[in-house]
Homo-oligomer: A and B are copies of this chain.
């Protein structure tokens, strides 16, 4: 039995706790709003009483009356994607550290779910929202309507003009990096992607690939998979099988728009008996983008470009907090891009 100090008199309300601790209720209220806003000596008193009586204020009563809650919404397009799960987790930590309460929501790749998530967030009157939008599938008008009402920072995927700021990866740099690497170490890569990608990053990566190839004096080769949705591995497998069967590829090197496509492609190659990698006897090189958590366990391990998602998480959270606490007029929409790093493994 835990029994810190015989919490005999039942402390249910802040009033109870106030009289039990010998401090006035409004001061207690101030303390819970911001512990540093009361004198050090009274703070100590309160915290001692807190250990005795283990009282916790009623969240609903608090939030009903405060102008602004301490809730921060975090919305990601797909929670079952380990990449987003990881970045969400990192952001969560930032939010908690800053004294806010994270509320994590996944959109399951569905634009309606995304809007529903935002609508649900509205109901809890969040201080701000960190939103990784679905991208092209998103309903920009409704996204914008939300961002006008609630301080919102976009991350991972940009939607032009929406939200107070955007923090993401510099696809131009990262794709340039790996294209250069591939060209330097072997045949110039073809680019494997979705024909009509939902994610705006995919479009930027395509452009970046084309630019990089031009710069290096090679003819670009686009391999575009039809189909939609978020089941990238399946698409990568299906279209990868097709392309490898056709044998029309003018190069032995494939750069995938993201790691999940690459995972599908590697699986297809393996099943066709095609040896992938940079070792002797390999007839195909495959590279990806994102440094997906599973990319280090593929066969062969996947050469890719890592996104600096820690930096992205930190900066986007930081930007949001500034936005929330700043009385200054909202400045111009700021775009921050972090560079990727080459992760050399066995596949290319």
Chain A residues in contact with chain B, CB under 8 A? 2, 56, 58-61, 63-64, 79-82, 85-86, 88-89, 101, 103-106, 108, 120, 122-125, 145, 233, 237, 263-264, 266-267, 270-271, 293-294, 296-301, 346
Query: Is B263's CB under 8 angstroms from A297's CB?
Result: yes
Rank and list the top 6 A-B pairs by shortest CB-CB distance, nearest first: A270-B299, A299-B299, A80-B85, A60-B64, A267-B297, A60-B63
Nearest-neighbor residue (CB-CB) of A265 within chain B: B297
Name the B residues within 8 Å of A58 (CB-CB). 64
B266, A299: Cβ atoms under 8 Å? yes
Chain B residues whose CB sits within 8 angstroms of the CB of A263 once the complex forms: 294, 297
Q: List B contacts of A61 (CB < 8 A).
A: 60, 64
> Closest CB of chain B to A209's CB: distance in Å?
24
In the complex, how many angstroms separate the beta carbon of A124 from the nearest chain B beta carbon?
6
Contact: A271 with B79, CB < 8 Å? no
Instruction: With A82-B82, A270-B299 given, name 12 new contacts (CB 8 A).
Output: A2-B145, A56-B123, A58-B64, A60-B124, A80-B85, A80-B293, A89-B108, A264-B297, A270-B300, A271-B300, A271-B346, A298-B299
Q: Once the chains are docked, how many angstroms separate the CA of A51 from the CA of B261?
A: 43
Most chain B C-beta atoms within 10 Å of own C-beta, residue among A124, A266, A299: A299
B-side contacts of A64, CB under 8 Å: 58, 60-61, 64
What is the CA–CA distance of A236 and B109 in the complex, to the nearest angstrom?
31
User: A167: shortest Cβ distance to chain B, in Å?
Assistant: 21
Copies in the complex: 2
How far, in whole Å, are A32 and B336 apart by their CA atoms in the complex?
43
Return the contact of A89 from the options B106, B296, B300 (Cβ within 8 A).
B106
Give A213 Cβ to nearest chain B Cβ, in Å: 28
Residue of B nearest to A264 (CB): B297
Considering the chains assembled together, what is the distance between the CA atoms of A109 and B85 in angstroms?
A: 14
**Cβ–Cβ < 8 Å partners of A85 in chain B:** 79-80, 82, 85, 106
- Cβ-closest chain B residue relative to A108: B89
A225 CA to B56 CA, complexed, in Å: 43
Question: In the bound complex, what is the Cα–Cα distance between A120 and B120 (angstroms)?
Answer: 19
Distance from A54 Cβ to chain B, minimum over Cβ atoms (Å): 11
**Neighbouring B residues of A56 by C-beta, 8 Å:** 122-123
Can you name the residue of chain B whose Cβ is closest to the Cβ of A61? B64
Q: Which of A59, A108, A301 has the most CB of B within 10 A?
A: A59
Quick one: closest B residue to A276, CB to CB? B299
* Chain B residues positioned under 8 Å from A298 (CB to CB): 267, 299
Bound-complex Cα distance A267 to B298 (A)? 6
In the complex, which residues of chain B have a beta carbon less than 8 angstroms from the beta carbon of A103?
Answer: 103
Q: Give the CA-CA distance A266 to B300 in the complex, in Å.
A: 10
**Residues in B whose Cβ lies below 8 Å from that of A2:** 145
Which residues of B have CB within 8 Å of A63? 60
